[in-house]
Structure 1
Amino acid sequence: MLTELSIKDFAIIDEISITFNEGLTVLTGETGAGKSIIIDAVQLLTGGRGSVEFVRYGAKKADIEGLFIIDDLHHPIFEKGRHFGVDINEDGMIVLHRTITANGKSICRVNGKLVTLAILKEFGKTLIDIHSQHETQSLMEVDRHIELLDLYVRDELEQVKSDYLRLFEKFQALRKRYRELSENEQEMVQRLDLLEFQLKEIQEAELSPLEDETLSEERDKLNNYEKIYQGIHDAYNALYGEQKGLDWLSLALNGLESASEYDEEAASKKEEFSNHYYVLEEFTFDLRNFLDSMEFDPERLNVIESRLNEINRLKKKYGQTVTEILEYAAEVEDEIDQITNRESHLSKLQNQIAELGEDALLEARHMHDIRKKAAETLSDSIHKELKDLYLEKAAFGVDIQMRRGKEGDPQLEGIPVSMQANGFDLVKFLITTNPGEPLKEINKVASGGELSRIMLALKKIFSKHQGVTSVIFDEVDTGVSGRVAQAIAEKIHGIATGSQVLCISHLPQVASMADTHLLIEKHVSGERTSTSMVELDTESSVEEISRMITGAEMTETTKEHARELIKLAEKFKKDQE
């Protein structure tokens, strides 16, 4: 969950540090106090689009930092860390950091490592799910519906989807190759000329594996011939000659021989020393032979330089090493064969495409069956959630249609189907809020208030499947009141039982349900405006909820009403345990 959030020089925030707890945290305050600015900061921290307008006036940069602690060692954030080379210890601490400078630069870090904005976003969406009053628009995007349905049945679908995707990618690659071979004969002829030229150039070079490495080593030796010769010569002279190493060692050996006639241990030492002496003597002779055999050949150096220049010229075209160049030549030969014998290859590709298409279609059909079954269960679950939100007359359905293809596509029961990365299904969420009316697409039926409740119903179901540690609601309860407001408050708290929830709200019913109540206030000092935040105790929360109820002067009656709301909320929480 999000444990700490630090914000500095961001919009009207001078500097603020917030500690978040588990459960439901509600942020309240007057309109314009800066509640949504907190959410804007979290969005930027998790990879949202930045702007110099976020930098506080007069400051050089805005800094946002968040500490997340993950207890589940199987959480997908650990796989993200391994994938992007970010160290995440077993204590599960992840620190996201975002800096936006006054000149528009954005600097992102994860656990201290500099990353791109795209990578920061990958980490962010794994940790936090943000919903605003405008986010419900994503429910209207039909392309998102299949993602949500798959999320609902992820465990059962995961392996099947993986098997399908593997087949689908091979299927697409073969179809692409078939198009390349069959569509433009003139381009093929031009391509063939180029490939034959490249192959001839590589073959004429008569390259040997690792030749560049071997020649580079030999060149280095020739370039440093004098240093090598002088070093060996100095070593030999230090060992051989009058008053040199071997001469002194010979004296030592003679001394040990004299002593060995009278002492067994001295004899043993003499034997051991003599072995070393004769080895060193042999080594000295080897050095002399090595010196005699050394020869500097400037012509050979010229040959090597010329050969390496030729190899480097080929590297610029065909690969970083000789091995890569030879591998490229093998690929060129294969492609030349395919173009030269195009008809037979096209026929072979057709057969392979047909076989792979059938295999992929079987897996896609399997996914279809799983989705159909999941759609029924999902509909039942959403009906229950909608009933809790006083949309008991609403009907929800999941329409799954086969995406029709064109001639040449794999056929299912005689009908060509268009297969995509997620199969051939086209999924739409349908709803009607009025009895007797047919199910229609959400955006053609639901009002703004209904969309908020539908989104909450979906979030209640999907939050436990998504794996995110924190869910943020930014005024998703706008425009509702009464019993609907109470139902929304209970639903938001229900989501908080499985995930940490941060909620910005103007509803007293939601505020009374908070496990932690934070008040955001705006202050004006001199000519500068700043935002502060304080955690409210029970009595302070009563006063804040009273203000939310009346919007004007507090009375004992409104305070009593606020206390009653908190009391009812506590009873609801206890009943849910």
Structure 2
Amino acid sequence: MLTQLYIENIAVIEKARIEFGAGFNVLTGETGAGKSIVIDSINAVLGERTSRELIRTGADHALVSAVFELKDGSAVQKLEESGYSVEEDGTLILQREISSDGKSSCRINARPATVSALKGIGSMLINIHGQHESYGLLSPELHIAYLDSMGLPEALLKRYREAFHSMQNMKASLDSSKMDQSQKARQIDLLTYQINELESANLHPGEQEDLNRQKNLYRNSERVAQAISQAKTALSGDEETAGAVSAVSDAADALNTAENYLPELHGLAERLQAISYDLEDCSDEMRNFSSLLEYDPSELDEIEARLDLIYRLSLKYGGSVDEMLEYLEKCRQELNAIQLSDENAEKFRKEYQKYRLQAESLATELSEWRAGAADLFTQKVKEELRFLNMPNVLFEIRREQVPMNETGCDRIEFYLSTNAGEPAKPIAKVASGGELSRIMLAIKTVLAGRDDIGTLIFDEVDTGVSGSAAQKVGLKLREVSGNRQVICVTHLAQIAALADTHFLIRKQVRNQRTFTQVDRLDREGRRQELARIMGGEQITPLMLQNAEEMLRMAQNDSSGS
């Protein structure tokens, strides 16, 4: 269960620490006091989507921290699967910090974590029933999820989905393999022509780049030859100049002579001699490069013709030789597949039939399970609704067989009649807002024992409810809190009076800034708050007396239970 929630710089809450108790906790306060901010903060620390707009004006970050007490269960297992663990005393701390730049950092028991890890674990700790969730009952496509929550075997659903997806894949392969003979012949002719055209071109990777380099060299051969000739003259000389090779060699000879009188010149003389040898090598290599410039003009014509062929092919099969070779391989594979299509079609047909029979058999098992679960679910929901002041309610689950889909072959829809003698109709057509709230509470109560989530949060589940119905809603919430923690945001005194722990959320203005604080109320504080809820700001002695009576009766009900 959630034992402590710390909020810092969330909207109008500068700092707040809420120490929740076991059993039934309620949060009350005037509209706009900040009750929804507490729920938003819990959503944030559970890894739900949030926004930097949530950060209090003037602050550069916001922080939410939640402390849980855990026993062995799915939450602990999920935690260990994610690489985390609870403390020795069974506590778990989730923390999320949101920065003004939109980034957030998360921690699980002081260790860094991702938002997805936080969300995965958070979903096993708290179930939040928002004030708008009841309207999900107006969407029939969501009803099957409520029925399946009665304990649909996950292994059965997993096996069905595997068979269903395999059936879909085989159906797609079978459809693609089906082609009439004339279409097949046309496709074979086209692929054969394309393959022959590409194969006859005898393309090679990198060929286009090599040809362009060769063409560029031949077209500029005179310029290159002139440059090489100039370099050779500079090195070897001509009729008028000796050249660099001769000049460096003469310098080396001169130093060799001087070396007899200045031995220190020996190293320099050797270096000059080595340079003259290198220059001679360079001059010889230039002769080799000159031979590369000798070509038959017809060679250039052949290169340009080859490049033209590659260009024309590229317009049809790809921008580069590599892309054309890839296209060629694709054509070969496609042609092979078509030629083997009859054989493949028969294989796909057998596989499709196998998976279809498997999926149909498993879908039938799912339907049989839902038929049994529907009877039990209907009975229990009607019992809960009668307790919640809907004595003449007629609640039905209608099942319709539909083509197989992700959930099987069932369409589930809830039908309702709230007046004796009236036939049941789809919930969307007959249920009011208050009735939706009670129906959802009844469903949540029925499903409450189907998981080991330790905390249920109801955000204004009393919408559209008043009078004795509100009293029954409060009693049902307290009943649910008998085996798990319940936190409820409410506007009704009848519900608040039944709480084990009561928190008041209120706003204050100091130095032209708004601050929200959360206080845990004692007996007198609860009496004052119940009187305010019933009568507004002007609290009379009679209102206080009525509030005291409500608390006393709630305490007696609790003692009696």
TM-score of the pair, normalised by structure 1: 0.68
**1:459 corresponds to 2:444:** yes
Aligned to 1:373: 372
How far the C-alpha of 1:153 sits from its partner, in A, is 3.0
For 2:340 and 2:456, how far apart are their aligned partners in 1?
59
Q: Amino acid of the residue matched to residue 386 of structure 1? A: L
Residues 107-129 of structure 1, C-alpha deviations (whole Å, 9 max, x = no match):
33434454444443332222211
Aligned to 2:63: 63
SS of aligned partner of 1:461: helix
Aligned to 2:101: 103
* Among 145, 170, 173, the residue aligned to 1:174: 170
Query: Is the contact between residue 431 and residue 440 of structure 1 (CA under 8 Å) also seen in structure 2?
Result: yes
Aligned to 2:147: 149
Aligned to 1:11: 11
How far the C-alpha of 1:453 sits from its partner, in A, is 0.9
For 2:333 and 2:387, how far apart are their aligned partners in 1?
65
How far the C-alpha of 1:500 sits from its partner, in A, is 0.9
Query: Is the contact between residue 505 and residue 511 of structure 1 (CA under 8 Å) also seen in structure 2?
Result: yes
Query: Is the contact between residue 26 and residue 514 of structure 1 (CA under 8 Å) also seen in structure 2?
Result: yes
Aligned to 2:157: 161
For 2:160 and 2:413, how far apart are their aligned partners in 1?
22
* Among 539, 547, 558, the residue aligned to 1:562: 547
How far the C-alpha of 1:336 sits from its partner, in A, is 9.3
Tell me which structure has the larger Cα radius of gyration: 2
Aligned to 1:125: 123
SS of aligned partner of 1:456: helix
Aligned to 1:25: 25
Q: Amino acid of the residue matched to residue 126 of structure 2? A: I
Aligned to 1:502: 487
Cα 1:335–1:356 shift into 2, 3 Å: farther
Aligned to 1:74: 73
For 1:116 and 1:22, how far apart are their aligned partners in 2?
29
* Among 506, 509, 522, the residue aligned to 2:507: 522
Structure 1 portions without partners, runs of 5+: 198-332, 404-417
How far the C-alpha of 1:91 sits from its partner, in A, is 5.1
* Among 457, 478, 495, the residue aligned to 1:472: 457
**1:421 corresponds to 2:406:** yes
How far the C-alpha of 1:166 sits from its partner, in A, is 3.2
Residues 396-440 of structure 1, C-alpha deviations (whole Å, 9 max, x = no match):
11111111xxxxxxxxxxxxxx22222111111111212233222
Aligned to 1:575: 560
For 2:528 and 2:560, how far apart are their aligned partners in 1?
26
Aligned to 1:341: 340
How far the C-alpha of 1:58 sits from its partner, in A, is 0.4
Residues 134-188 of structure 1, C-alpha deviations (whole Å, 9 max, x = no match):
221111222221111011133xx33432332332233233233334444797999
Cα 1:362–1:8 shift into 2, 3 Å: same
For 2:142 and 2:97, how far apart are their aligned partners in 1?
31
For 1:74 and 1:457, how far apart are their aligned partners in 2?
25
For 1:177 and 1:515, how far apart are their aligned partners in 2?
61
Q: Amino acid of the residue matched to residue 436 of structure 2? A: L
Query: Is the contact between residue 50 and residue 106 of structure 1 (CA under 8 Å) also seen in structure 2?
Result: no
Cα 1:187–1:38 shift into 2, 3 Å: farther
For 1:112 and 1:163, how far apart are their aligned partners in 2?
39
Q: Amino acid of the residue matched to residue 498 of structure 1? A: N
Aligned to 2:426: 441
Q: Amino acid of the residue matched to residue 59 of structure 1? A: A
Cα 1:553–1:82 shift into 2, 3 Å: same
Aligned to 2:522: 537
How far the C-alpha of 1:18 sits from its partner, in A, is 1.4
Aligned to 1:359: 358
For 2:109 and 2:16, how far apart are their aligned partners in 1?
21
Residues 315-367 of structure 1, C-alpha deviations (whole Å, 9 max, x = no match):
xxxxxxxxxxxxxxxxxx99997665221121122112112211221111111
Query: Is the contact between residue 45 and residue 97 of structure 1 (CA under 8 Å) also seen in structure 2?
Result: yes
What RMSD over aligned residues (CA atoms) do the two structures have, in Å? 3.1
SS of aligned partner of 2:457: strand
Q: Amino acid of the residue matched to residue 512 of structure 1? A: A
TM-score of the pair, normalised by structure 2: 0.70
How far the C-alpha of 1:480 sits from its partner, in A, is 2.4
Cα 1:554–1:369 shift into 2, 3 Å: same
For 1:512 and 1:150, how far apart are their aligned partners in 2?
34
For 1:181 and 1:115, how far apart are their aligned partners in 2?
48
Query: Is the contact between residue 133 and residue 474 of structure 1 (CA under 8 Å) also seen in structure 2?
Result: yes
For 1:492 and 1:190, how far apart are their aligned partners in 2?
71
Query: Is the contact between residue 464 and residue 499 of structure 1 (CA under 8 Å) also seen in structure 2?
Result: no
Query: Is the contact between residue 459 and residue 495 of structure 1 (CA under 8 Å) also seen in structure 2?
Result: no
For 1:477 and 1:443, how far apart are their aligned partners in 2?
19
Q: Amino acid of the residue matched to residue 479 of structure 1? A: G
**1:547 corresponds to 2:529:** no
Cα 1:372–1:563 shift into 2, 3 Å: same
Cα 1:6–1:31 shift into 2, 3 Å: same
Query: Is the contact between residue 2 and residue 66 of structure 1 (CA under 8 Å) also seen in structure 2?
Result: yes
How far the C-alpha of 1:46 sits from its partner, in A, is 1.9
For 2:76 and 2:164, how far apart are their aligned partners in 1?
28
How far the C-alpha of 1:451 sits from its partner, in A, is 0.8
Aligned to 1:48: 48
How far the C-alpha of 1:57 sits from its partner, in A, is 0.5
For 2:148 and 2:440, how far apart are their aligned partners in 1?
17
Query: Is the contact between residue 70 and residue 76 of structure 2 (CA under 8 Å) also seen in structure 1?
Result: no
Query: Is the contact between residue 8 and residue 63 of structure 1 (CA under 8 Å) also seen in structure 2?
Result: yes
For 1:338 and 1:496, how far apart are their aligned partners in 2?
64
For 2:107 and 2:427, how far apart are their aligned partners in 1?
39
Alignment of 1:475-490 (within 5 A): 475-490=460-475
How far the C-alpha of 1:88 sits from its partner, in A, is 4.5
How far the C-alpha of 1:376 sits from its partner, in A, is 1.2
For 1:337 and 1:6, how far apart are their aligned partners in 2?
66
Q: Amino acid of the residue matched to residue 429 of structure 1? A: F
Aligned to 2:328: none
For 1:337 and 1:20, how far apart are their aligned partners in 2?
69
For 1:45 and 1:532, how far apart are their aligned partners in 2?
19
Aligned to 2:391: 392
SS of aligned partner of 1:424: strand
Aligned to 2:207: none
Cα 1:343–1:114 shift into 2, 3 Å: farther
Q: Amino acid of the residue matched to residue 57 of structure 1? A: T
Cα 1:80–1:338 shift into 2, 3 Å: farther
